């Protein structure tokens, strides 16, 4: 899967439809399913712990699949998840993955996993989440540099927008990005920011499939896709 450098301002971005419940996953992985997105994100951390890797591997979907096993410190749903168990489950699920999301802060513990994913040709997304504030541009660029040094293909930043001026920080970040970046705000201004950042070169926009958002500030994936069709990219 190839992504353009932000200076090329890719538009429209690929729409990611997040799945965070088992029934929705069964629906979108049925033969003939046609979900309104370009990529399906399976939030494994939000599924019941009784669901095994074998059960997940039995299913296939028509869209490229992004596997996410979010750590609790950055919004994951399994508060007592042992890190070695999380990494082990991610490794078992690599055969079904086209993309894999891993937190930038936790890359050092997962180098063997990420190396195996890279050998399989899986696109690696290095992510960082702040559910309280919008970090400074310099803070996020330092994280981006750390991710690029570990050969992550895409960097993803999600942060809480507390006021309208916080969106300007995201705009500055996209302008300074060193490579493909996905950027999104959370909270009341989240939906607006996701469209704006898409116009400015964010390579992915996250919505949700089914009836359950996986993060504050998401619209349904299909709504984002339709909205993007009415907008144009911002001039470079």
* In the chain, domain spans: 8-228
What residues contact 184, with CB distance under 8 A and at least 6 apart? 156, 157, 158, 190, 193, 194, 197, 202, 205, 206, 217
pLDDT for residue 211: 80
Alpha-carbon torsion, ordered 43, 45, 50, 52, to 10 deg: 60
Per the CB < 8 A criterion, the answer to whether 218 and 189 are in contact is no
Give the model's pLDDT for residue 236.
Answer: 60
Q: Per the structure block, which two tokens stand in for 185?
A: 């705000």
62 pLDDT higher than 70: yes
Q: What's the pLDDT score for residue 10?
A: 75
> Residue 110 class from Cβ within 10 Å (0-12 exposed, 13-18 middle, 19+ buried)?
buried
- Tell whether the model's pLDDT for residue 64 goes beyond 70: yes
3 pLDDT band, cuts 50/70/90, is: low
The arithmetic mean of pLDDT across residues 89-105, rounded, is: 97
Report the 10 Å Cβ neighbour count for 95: 10
pLDDT of residue 157: 98
Q: Which of the 8 DSSP states describes residue 75?
A: T
Q: Mean pLDDT across the chain, nearest whole number? A: 92
pLDDT given for residue 9 in this prediction: 67
pLDDT at site 1: 60
List the helix and strand counts (H, then E) for the chain. Answer: 8, 8
Write out the E strands in 49-200.
Answer: 65-68, 99-103, 123-130, 154-160, 181-186
Extract the runs of DSSP E, i.e. beta strands, from the chain: 14-19, 39-43, 65-68, 99-103, 123-130, 154-160, 181-186, 204-208
Contact 230, 213 (CB under 8 A): no
**Alpha-carbon span 124 to 117, nearest angstrom:** 8
Q: Name the pLDDT band for 226 (thresholds 50, 70, 90).
A: very high
Tokens at residue 212, please? 């359950």
User: What percent of the chain has pLDDT above 90?
Assistant: 84
pLDDT band at residue 49 under the 50/70/90 scheme: very high
pLDDT at 4: 56
Residue 60: the pLDDT is 87
Q: Is the pLDDT of residue 73 over 80?
A: yes
| Residue 133 tokens, joined | 């504030």
Task: Taking residues 131-159, report their average pLDDT.
Answer: 97
Q: In angstroms, rounded to a whole number, what is the distance separating the alpha carbons of residues 61 and 81?
A: 27
Q: Tell me the pLDDT tens digit for each residue of 204-214.
A: 999 999 887 76
Q: d(Cα 10, Cα 214) in Å, to the nearest integer?
A: 25
Establish how many alpha carbons lie within 13 A of residue 119's alpha carbon, considering only the half-sphere containing its beta carbon: 7
Reduce the DSSP state of residue 63 to 3 states and report it: coil
| Alpha carbon separation from 91 to 44, 61, 68 (Å, rounded) | 13, 19, 12
Which top CATH class is 8-228? Answer: alpha beta
pLDDT for 25 equals 95
pLDDT at 110 over 90: yes
**CB–CB of 19/218 below 8 Å?**
no
Mean pLDDT within 171-189: 94
Position 7 pLDDT exceeds 80:
no
């Amino acid at each position: 899967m190839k992504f353009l450098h932000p200076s090329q301002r890719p538009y429209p971005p690929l729409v990611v439809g997040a799945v965070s419940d088992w029934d929705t996953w069964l629906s979108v992985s049925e033969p003939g399913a046609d979900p309104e997105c370009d990529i399906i994100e399976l939030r494994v951390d939000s599924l019941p712990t009784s669901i095994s890797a074998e059960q997940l591997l039995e299913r296939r979907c028509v869209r490229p699949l992004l596997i996410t096993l979010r750590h609790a410190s950055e919004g994951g749903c399994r508060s007592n998840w042992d890190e070695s168990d999380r990494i082990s489950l991610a490794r078992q699920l690599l055969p079904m993955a086209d993309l894999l999301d891993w937190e930038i802060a936790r890359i050092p513990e997962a180098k063997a996993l990420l190396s195996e994913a890279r050998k399989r040709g899986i696109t690696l997304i290095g992510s960082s989440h702040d559910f309280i504030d919008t970090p400074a541009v310099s803070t996020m660029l330092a994280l981006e540099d750390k991710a690029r040094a570990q050969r992550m293909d895409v960097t993803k930043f999600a942060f809480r927008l507390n006021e309208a001026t916080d969106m300007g920080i995201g705009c500055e970040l996209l302008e300074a990005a060193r490579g493909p970046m996905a950027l999104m705000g959370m909270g009341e201004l989240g939906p607006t920011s996701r469209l704006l950042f898409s116009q400015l070169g964010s390579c992915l926009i996250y919505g949700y499939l089914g009836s359950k958002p996986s993060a504050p500030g998401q619209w349904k994936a299909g709504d984002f896709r339709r909205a993007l069709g009415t907008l144009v990219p911002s001039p470079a």
